[in-house]
Structure 1
Amino acid sequence: MNYWLVKSEPDDFSLKDLEALGSDGEGWNGVRNYQARNFMRDDMALGDLVLFYHSSCKQVGVVGIAKVVKTAYPDPSQFDPDSKYFDSKATVDTPRWFQVDIAFERALRRVPLSAMKANAKLAGLALIKASRLSVMPVSTEHFAEILKMGEVT
């Protein structure tokens, strides 16, 4: 099993929005960074666990856990000229962008970015090194530490 972190702006799509969708989850669409796309397309597997991170808000941090429920397939928004994620270079025969489906697993007590930065056990966490990436791998050790920090007692 692999572990991941995905970022979402809660005003656009929050953990509560994901929870409301039930076990089918939601396609993680609109990712337009090649490295993040490659993680989803090439590395994310069915059943992988995902830290759900609220970004671009007053209280940034990990707020819950999701699970990959469908592996990579072409992101349909790239073909829709009315979508803000439209890509005129993408075709059905040669898609450029992919998505996976993730579903809600459970909420955590918010783990703020500041607390993660202050935790020496998370020193090599990709979120701290490459904070702009919207999809990133998380080591088993880092996942366990963040989970421990976010457990509701």
Structure 2
Amino acid sequence: MPRHWLLKTEPGCFSLDDLAAAPGRTTGWDGVRNFQARNFLREMALGDLALFYHSVTNPGAVGIVSVVREAYPDATAQDPQSGHYDPRATAEKPLWFMVDVRLDERFAAPVPLAAMRREPGLAGMELLRKGSRLSVMPVGPEEFALVCRLGRQAAQKA
């Protein structure tokens, strides 16, 4: 049974449109520099599903991705030209990891953060906890299904 996650990104850095335009609608989820978020990346398995979440401007879930490659060392940590460079990371001790994800579905309409906060079924969702800032976090199966239903509703109403 696949696990469920939420991957948070700033659309000005990397958006759902960027993922849709990537070869095979697939990319490496790199640049995560928080140890707890890194640990979640290392827990991901092939076939796990994640909500693709735009943060900052108009925050909300905009689609679904699947994990197509399990955790491996994040090369951007060892590249001094990268904005994600970390001099502590080495080939022998990589420190930071990434997964590859593929776009599976774009929601008919984004599910805004404000709408999620109004849903009783999402009250326990990690994303909605005060002070929660992780860019990678687990999502319960019922929460995942509810957000997906909300994202697909616009298509059902059309």
What is the TM-score normalised by the length of structure 2? 0.92
Amino acid at match of 1:76: A
Structure 2 unmatched ranges of 5 or more: none
Query: Counterparts of 1:54-65 in structure 2 under 5 Å?
Result: 54-57=54-57, 59-65=58-64
Determine the C-alpha separation between the residues in 1 that align with 2:63 and 2:29. 16
Please tell me whether residue 21 in structure 1 is matched to residue 22 in structure 2.
yes
Q: Which aligned segments of 4 or more residues in structure 1 are displaced greater than 6 angstroms?
A: none
Contact 2:67–2:102 under 8 Å retained in 1: yes
* Corresponding residue for residue 84 of structure 1: 83
* Corresponding residue for residue 123 of structure 1: 123
Query: Counterparts of 1:9-48 in structure 2 under 5 Å?
Result: 9-23=10-24, 25-41=26-42, 43-48=43-48
Alpha-carbon distance, 1:20 to partner: 1.2
* Corresponding residue for residue 150 of structure 1: 151
* Corresponding residue for residue 50 of structure 1: 50
Percent identity of the aligned residues?
Answer: 50
The DSSP-based 3-state class of the residue aligned with 2:85 is coil
**Residues 52 and 2 of structure 1: is their aligned pair in 2 closer, same or farther, counting only changes over 3 Å?**
same
Amino acid at match of 1:113: L
Structure 1 unmatched ranges of 5 or more: none
**Aligned residue pairs, count:** 151
Alpha-carbon distance, 1:23 to partner: 3.0
Contact 2:19–2:25 under 8 Å retained in 1: no
Amino acid at match of 1:45: A
Alpha-carbon distance, 1:22 to partner: 4.1
Determine the C-alpha separation between the residues in 2 that align with 1:83 and 1:103. 23
* Corresponding residue for residue 99 of structure 1: 98
1:21-73 Cα deviation digits (max 9, x unpaired): 143611100000000000001x100011110000011x110000111010000
